[in-house]
Amino acid sequence: MSIFEYNGSAVVAMVGKNCFALASDRRLGVQLQTLATDFQKIYKIHDKLYVGLSGLATDAQTLYQRLVFRHKLYQLREERGIKPETFASLVSALLYEKRFGPYFCQPVIAGLGEDDKPFICTMDSIGAKELAKDFVVAGTASESLYGACESMYKPDMEPEELFETVSQALLASVDRDCLSGWGGHVFIVTPSQVIERTLKARMD
Amino acid sequence: MYKKHETLIMPFTIVEIQIRNELFCKATHKRQSNARLFPSLRRTHPVAEADLLKVSMECVFGLVGNGFALVVADTSAVHSILVHKSNEDKIMVLDSHKLIGASGESGDRVQFTEYIQKNVHLYQFRNGIPLTTAAAANFTRGELATALRKSPYFVNLLLAGYDKEIGPSLYYIDYIATLHKIEKGAFGYGSYFSLAMMDRHYHPGMTVDEAIDLVDKCIMEIRSRLVVAPPNFVIKIVDKDGAREYAWRESVKDVSGA
């Protein structure tokens, strides 16, 4: 049993037409025991930038606190929010700082950049970035998420269709993974609005 | 490093050790390739080395009711196969409106909870206002998280508190510093039974009497189904009137008379 699979998680980001979706499951477990079904894995950095942290929950919480701290410093210095690309480099640097004793997290970064161009990216626990045009996945359900996203994704979806697609992909995937599930949490971010929805799933 | 925590009693301990050995031998996830390149690092890293299947024989659980939160803990001080004491109070009154139920290695437990208690007091003396329950929980998590990569404390905590504006709340903090606000929670071997009982019988807004009934159900289930069940339990409550001991559930009188 890997330490990445200690708490269980599933995170997925998908790109649509001038928008993106970021979704996660809601389970917090310790191995096979479920502790809570309302655990947050997606965090807001600013209005157009979100990060999903899969992996070891304690490291996700520590990492999130450090990211918020660094983003606040950035905002004070630059007097604006951070660009998703820059933020990805920041996360990568923070992770690689701990190269020989990493945070056991696999982050998913999703944001709207300049001209509201969607940006999604994931990285491993030591900060190797993996950029994608369509979708990225992370967590214990990542294998099944790849399959579901691969078959359901199509380019240039509108927000509502994107929501349906990412939700169906998430729900289909977590049902094949013992360590994630118990509902979902979906963010759809467009240039003008953010839609946040919680999903009811198989609650077992 | 943590071998001493592995229990002698439960038969599946052998399986646990096997699983643990696999953790160091077989990298099943592609993201672990870095760790595979440096197997020696993996073995010395405190978190990677932490026994992922550490479950203590203690029973600590708690729940939130209507206007109060309660924490229950067993009162046995056990080392290996010996019971040293059966009236060890594992629930500390942090300040006037906070309780902290702790399980884990006894030295770490006492040291860490006292450290938290003294710092919560210090904050109150300096600033004239107490920490909220959420603030105390986050402070505790911070301390555990810093210690985690240095010399970890093996303590699992349930922090219950009452705030005037917020009402009662309960926080789950485990030894690797995972923090989560919960309505009901448990640690240790007792959790397999108490969580199941609470899942079945808990409902939001329970009265004290209902909650105590549920606590007694949990204790009864632990006593009747757990091989290594501790004999005695203490129940503490926190509500608008403060944190206090509520009752004991004893089936054995402590021989030492301490």
Name the helix (H) or strand (E) containing B25.
Answer: helix B13-25
Phi, psi values for residue A143, rounded to 5°: -60, -50
Burial class (CB in 10 A: 0-12, 13-18, 19+), B250: middle
**Nearest residue, CB atoms, B47 vs list A1, A3, A36:** A3
ipTM entry: 0.95
**Nearest residue, CB atoms, B172 vs list A35, A100, A106:** A35
Question: For residue range A71-119, what is the model confidence (pLDDT) as tens digits?
Answer: 999 999 999 999 999 999 999 999 999 999 999 999 999 999 999 999 9
Contacts of B145 in chain A (CB under 8 A): 58, 61-62
Nearest CA to B105 out of B150, B55, B142 is that of B55
Residue with tokens 């946040």: A196
Give CA–CA dist B31/A120, Å, rounded.
Answer: 19
Which of B26, B176, B181, B183 has the most A C-beta neighbours within 10 Å, making it the best mutation to test the interface with A? B176
State the pLDDT at residue B54.
Answer: 74
pTM of the model: 0.88
Is the minimum CB–CB distance between A2 and chain B shorter than 8 Å?
yes
DSSP category for residue A116:
G
Contact present, A173 and A10 (Cβ < 8 Å): yes
Residue A22: pLDDT band with limits 50, 70, 90: very high
Is the minimum CB–CB distance between A30 and chain B shorter than 8 Å?
yes
Question: CA geometry: angle at B86 spanning B80 and B89, to 5°?
Answer: 105
Interface of A with B in 103-142 (CB under 8 A): 104, 106, 124-126
Question: For residue range A116-161, what is the model confidence (pLDDT) as tens digits?
Answer: 999 999 999 999 999 999 999 999 999 999 999 999 999 999 999 9
Contact present, B190 and B182 (Cβ < 8 Å): no
Question: For residue range B99-155, what is the model confidence (pLDDT) as tens digits?
Answer: 999 999 999 999 999 999 999 999 999 999 999 999 999 999 999 999 999 999 999
DSSP category for residue A128:
-
Question: For residue range B210-245, what is the model confidence (pLDDT) as tens digits?
Answer: 999 999 999 999 999 999 999 999 999 999 999 999
Give CA–CA dist A162/A155, Å, rounded.
Answer: 10
Residue B28: pLDDT band with limits 50, 70, 90: very low
